[in-house]
Amino acid sequence: MYKILILDDEKNICISLSFALEDDYQTFWFQEPKEGLKKLQTDSIDLVLLDLKLGRYDGIQILKEIKALDPGLPVIIMTGYGSIESSVEAVKAGAYHYVSKPIVMDDLRNLMSKALEHARLSRQVSELNRRLATQDGGKALIGKSPAMEALRKTIEKVKNINSNILIYGESGTGKEIAARSIHFSSDRSEQRFEAVNCSAIPVNLLESEFFGHKKGAFTGADSDRKGKFEICHKGSLFLDEIGEMDLSIQAKLLRVLQDKVITPVGSNQSIHVDVRLIAATNRDLRKAVEEGRFREDLYYRLNVISIEMPPLRQRKEDIPLLVQSFIGKFSRQFGKQITGARHEVIRCLESYHFPGNVRELENIIERAVAFSEGPLITMEDMPELELDRSFKGPLPANHLAGRTLADIEREAILSTLKMTGQNRRRAASLLGITERTLRNKLDFYGQFTEEPS
Among the four given CATH numbers 2.40.50.100, 1.10.10.60, 1.10.2020.10, 3.40.50.300, the one describing domain 397-444: 1.10.10.60
pLDDT at 453 over 50: no
Task: Specify the pLDDT at position 325.
Answer: 92
User: Tell me, what's the pLDDT at 394?
Assistant: 45
- The answer to whether 214 and 267 are in contact (CB under 8 A) is yes
pLDDT digits over 146-193, tens only?
A: 999 999 999 999 999 999 999 999 999 999 999 999 999 999 988 899
Q: What pLDDT score was predicted for residue 347?
A: 86
pLDDT in tens, 87-104: 678 888 889 998 888 899
What are the angstrom distances between the C-alpha of 38 and each of 35, 266, 342, 442? 5, 13, 62, 77
pLDDT of amino acid 391: 45
> What's the whole-number mean pLDDT along residues 37-55?
89
d(CA 286, CA 414): 42
CA atoms within 13 A on the CB side of 69: 26
Alpha-carbon span 59 to 432, nearest angstrom: 73
Task: Provide the pLDDT confidence category of residue 402 given band limits of 50, 70 and 90.
Answer: low
In this predicted structure, what is the pLDDT of residue 23? 92
Confidence of residue 321 (pLDDT cuts 50, 70, 90): very high
d(CA 148, CA 314): 10
pLDDT in tens, 125-142: 666 655 554 444 335 789
Q: State the pLDDT at residue 92.
A: 81
Domain boundaries, the chain: 3-124, 144-310, 313-391, 397-444
Q: What is the reported pLDDT for 126?
A: 66
pLDDT in tens, 391-400: 444 444 445 5
| Architecture label for domain 144-310 | 3-Layer(aba) Sandwich (3.40)
In the structure, what pLDDT confidence band is assigned to residue 41 with cuts at 50, 70 and 90? confident
Whether residue 304 is predicted with pLDDT greater than 50 in this model: the reply is: yes
pLDDT of residue 395: 44
Cα–Cα distance for residue pair 1/306, rounded to 1 Å:
34
CATH number of 313-391: 1.10.8.60
Claim: this prediction has a pTM higher than 0.85: no
| Band of pLDDT at residue 425, cut at 50, 70 and 90 | confident
Percentage of the chain beyond pLDDT 70 is 89
pLDDT at 369: 95
Task: Provide the percentage of residues in the chain whose pLDDT is more than 90.
Answer: 56
Whole-number pLDDT of residue 400: 57
In this prediction, residue 138 carries a pLDDT of: 35
How would DSSP label each residue in 187-252?
A: TTTTS-EEEEETTTS-HHHHHHHHH-B-TTSSTT--S-B--HHHHTTTSEEEEETGGG--HHHHHH
Residue 292 in this model has a pLDDT that exceeds 90: yes
Q: pLDDT tens, 334-374?
A: 999 999 998 888 888 988 889 999 999 999 999 999 999 98
Which CATH number, 3.30.2140.20, 3.40.50.2300, 3.30.70.260, 3.40.50.720, labels domain 3-124?
3.40.50.2300
pLDDT of residue 76: 95
Q: What is the mean pLDDT of the chain?
A: 86
pLDDT band for position 390 (50/70/90)?
very low
Question: Hey, what's the torsion of the CAs at 204, 209, 215, 219, to 10 degrees?
Answer: 30
Asked if 3-124 and 144-310 have one fold, the answer is yes
The answer to whether residue 312 scores a pLDDT higher than 90 is yes
Span 201-208, average pLDDT: 87
